[in-house]
Amino acid sequence: MNYIIIFIASLLTGLILSAVHVILPWLFGPIIATVLLKKFTSREYRWPKWLSEIGLYILGAQIGASFTKEIVADIQDELLYIILISIFVILLAIMISFVLKRFLNCSLETAILASIPGALNQMIVMAEENKNANLLVVTLAQTLRILIVVLTVPFISSLLPEGVHRATISQTPSMVEALNMQTILLLIGAMVIAGYLYRCIHFPVPDMMGPITVLMIWNLTTGINFMIPTPLIILAQMCFGIRIGLQLYDLSYQINRQLFIGVLIQNLLLIIGTFIIVYIMNLFMHESFNDLFLSAAPGGMAQIIIVGLETGANVAMISSYHIFRIFIILLVVTPLLSIYLNYKARHI
């Protein structure tokens, strides 16, 4: 009954926000509805993890379906810019960690692990393993950053010129129009298996990476392009919005004033710094400023993709930047951080 109540309240709130043309109504609607239900009713609301995972699979499928041969060719031409922007954003985050360290009077380990964008799970694991890191601060800072990005980036993005991909998307047939039921079921099975394999190797956001990988391979080998039906995208946003709303309410009781202000300053500096980086890089590129900003934005990939879908941005381009940043964090930043923190711990 609690699941039904929270879903219906989220649906109604989303419809109201959509009617008054609020940006991201199907994300913010569930967030608002969930917080209000938790605040003003006595029921103990929970949201099944598997429903959130289904939402991520749908968003991953939408991203994967966006990777056409033409888009991949464009991305290959801009590989150098993808590398540079990813590195600049990570370096910016590390520099800002020194500001967080001074403001919160915490250890450098805590500040660095709390600042690296787009790698929540990895940073929390490293905080658990490092005796000088404050696990609570790292967890709250990383989670709060996602919420701050969700609340700020959409409004910044809405002020920028929209992308040019809405028309292209509308001309692409829906999955149910382009494929027969047997093929759809085979693709769903392959996406679930791929997600499971990513989860086994502890890769970030496995529920998104599985569908992305499968549908990228499908598009590049068959050339049969399709888009995920709009009602499924709305459902994915609702599942994700309810999850964020529950997190937001639970976090509100754990965050003190100093921590909130410190993380808020950290994230505003990250967003402003990213804006400046994108502005400079855009002088040498021919992409939409909105596409570039969302590609570099220091948030979780799922949240940024939702914003990209709403603003008509190039979803494939945005996700490619974020995926590449995840690889840099996994293959370069995390090992180097681990070596540095272990060295520092041995010499204290």
Residues 133 and 147 sit within 8 Å (Cβ to Cβ): no
Model confidence band, residue 254 (pLDDT cutoffs 50, 70, 90): confident
Phi/psi at 174 (5° precision): -70, 160
Token pair 């754990």 is found at 254
Asked if pLDDT for residue 167 goes beyond 50, the answer is no
Sign, CA torsion 219/299/238/14: negative
| pTM for the predicted model, two decimal places | 0.69
Half-sphere exposure of 208 (CA within 13 A, CB side): 23
Token pair 């914003």 is found at 307
For the stretch 184-238, pLDDT in tens is 999 999 999 999 998 898 776 788 888 988 998 998 888 888 888 888 888 988 8
Helix (H, G, I), strand (E, B) or coil at 227: strand
Sign, CA torsion 99/104/106/111: negative
Residues 317 and 75 sit within 8 Å (Cβ to Cβ): yes
For the stretch 112-146, pLDDT in tens is 888 887 666 567 667 777 777 787 788 777 777 77
Q: What is the pLDDT of residue 304?
A: 80
CB 30: neighbour CB atoms within 10 A? 29
Q: What is the pLDDT of residue 168?
A: 46
Report how far residue 37's alpha carbon sits from residue 10's, in angstroms, rounded to the nearest whole number. 10
Of 5-19, 115-129, 158-172, 186-200, minimum mean pLDDT range: 158-172
Mean pLDDT of the chain: 81
Phi/psi at 227 (5° precision): -120, 155
Residues 112 and 94 sit within 8 Å (Cβ to Cβ): yes
The contacts of residue 148 (CB under 8 Å, 6+ apart) are 263, 264, 267
What is the DSSP code (8-state) at residue 299? S
Model confidence band, residue 166 (pLDDT cutoffs 50, 70, 90): very low
Closest CA to 125 of 202, 50, 240, 207: 202
For the stretch 138-153, pLDDT in tens is 877 777 777 777 777 7
Token pair 């609301």 is found at 45
Report how far residue 28's alpha carbon sits from residue 6's, in angstroms, rounded to the nearest whole number. 14
Using a 10 angstrom Cβ sphere, with 0-12 exposed, 13-18 middle and 19 or more buried, the burial of residue 214 is buried
Q: What is the pLDDT of residue 11?
A: 93
